[in-house]
Amino acid sequence: MTKTLKSLLAVMACAAFVPSALAAESATIKMIEERGTMLCSGHNGSYFGFVEVNDKNEWRGLDIDLCRAMTTAILGDPNKVQIVPLSWAQRFPALQSGDVDIIIKATGWTMGRDTELGLQFSLPYFFGGTQLMAHSDLGITQATQLEGGTICVEAGTTIERIVADYLKTLGVEHTMISYEKAAELRAAYLANRCDAFAGWGPNLAVLRATEIDNPDQHIILEDQLSSEPISAAMRQGDEDFVDFTNWMLAALLLAEEHGVTMANVEEMAANPPNPTVARLLGSTPGIGERLGLRETWAREMIAAVGNFAEIYDRNLGKDSPYKLERGLNNLWSHGGVLYAPILD
């Protein structure tokens, strides 16, 4: 009897807190604040361009920078991030058991993960698809010119099916060799056993830039065989945290759209050129209160890591060794598919 009464009281107590919960933050954010560090997913090694360790033993990459942006937004300091090295297979169990707060690690948004694995995903921040890389001396630029060629793929992957479907649709006759290990696949391609090599576009670009002696000897064909949305993955049940992640990504994109950079952010905050920038940088209050954070979280974040274009260029694009074109990963206004929700 007393037990029932107690739990009833507890429920009522919770209900009493609901109005203030409007401005309150998520359980995950609260946990991060109490801990004083944010736990992010790393990689067991380097996944070039996204999660990599440089020669000074520092974590670098697009995904790492997004994590640093997030840490700055919550804790006000990008260095309070702690990267937990995880293999691909470990990432979801690690998230579920609380070893990391979020997975930002080239993770595709699939229905199985969204439903069966009990995850929730942010808006996609990157689109990468299957592409083909070929030896330049073949003088080809498109998949249709691969007639009679040999194509190497990794066995048992979705890439294997995507390539088979695509070439069948084009009516390109070919031989396909599938290897179990990525290392064997690379070796076979580099030894000219295959004319072309199918893989995830960003990986091909990175391979071309880093592991091949002369990048000009290889060409990534124009064809985009598929596209996969890459999102941040979070535990089910903390909707406020998903809201925050989405608005963190939105703030980076809005900053790019309105020309707010690492260098001019303070100046922009002092003299906002338009109402959106004023709201974004907290000059007009609202952006912080509604997420239960400081009004200046976006300003501090941009000052620490820059806008989305700066993060991209530094890690994958023109300022990186990989020189990956923005392509689909540009703002909608520049021919890409990235966009931010409306900041009102």
Partner 1 sequence: MAEAVILRRKFSAKDLAIQALFLAVIVVIVAEAVSSARTNLAEMGLSSGLAFLDRATGWSYSFSLIDHSIDDSYRKTLFIGFLNTLFLGLVSIVLATVLGFAVGTARDANNIAVRSSATIFIQLFRNIPLILQLVFWYAVLIHMPGPRQAMSIADAIFISNRGVMVPGLTIPTVAGIGLTIFAVVAGVLIARLSALRTSLKLLIWLAAVAALTLLLWVTLAPEGAGLVSAPELKGLRFVGGLPLPIEFVAMVIGITLYGAAYIAEVVRGGLQEVPKGLIEAGRALGLQEGMIWFKIKMPMTLRTIIPPLGNQWVFLMKATTIGVAIGFSDLFMIVSTSITQSGQTLELIGILMAAFILINFTLAQLVNLLNARLRLKGH
The closest alpha carbon to 321, from 228, 212, 183, 242, belongs to 212
Per residue, the 3-state secondary structure of 188-246, as one string, reads HHHCCCCCEEEEEHHHHHHHHHHCCCCHHHEEECCCCCCCEEECCEEECCCHHHHHHHH
Q: Which two tokens stand for residue 169?
A: 């649709």
Applying CB under 8 A, among 84, 117, 164, 337 the residue interacting with partner 1 is: 164
Q: Considering CB under 8 A, how many residues would be counted as binding partner 1?
A: 30
Distances (CA, A) of 247 to 71, 244, 343: 14, 5, 9
In the list 188, 262, 328, 343, the residue contacting partner 1 (rule: CB under 8 A) is 188
Judge contact between 252 and 268, C-beta under 8 A: no
- Which residues lie closer than 8 Å to 231 by C-beta, 6 or more apart? 107, 108, 109, 121, 122, 123, 124, 125
Our finding on whether 150 is near partner 1 (CB under 8 A) is: yes
Options 77, 99, 114, 160; binder of partner 1; rule CB under 8 A? 160
- Can you tell me which of 6, 11, 36, 147 binds partner 1, judged by CB under 8 A? 147
Residue with smaller CB distance to partner 1, 94 or 188: 188
Q: How far is the CB of 198 from partner 1 (least distance, A)?
A: 11
Binding residue for partner 1 (CB under 8 A) from 176, 212, 262, 343?
Answer: 176
Contact flag: residue 195 with partner 1 (CB under 8 A) = yes
Nearer Cβ to partner 1 (156/273): 156
Least CB distance from residue 160 to partner 1, whole Å?
5
Q: Binding to partner 1 (CB under 8 A): which residues in 120-139?
A: 138
Find the binding residues for partner 1 in span 256-295 (CB under 8 A).
none
Q: Does 149 bind partner 1 (CB under 8 A)?
A: yes
How many H-runs (helices) and E-runs (strands) does the chain carry? 13, 13
- Position among 44, 79, 192, 264 found at the interface with partner 1 (CB under 8 A): 192
Between strands 233-235 and 119-121, the pairing is: antiparallel
Reduced to 3 states (helix: H, G, I; strand: E, B; else coil), residue 304 is helix
Q: Give residues in contact with partner 1 (CB under 8 A).
A: 138, 146-150, 152, 155-157, 160-161, 164-165, 168, 174-181, 184, 187-188, 191-193, 195
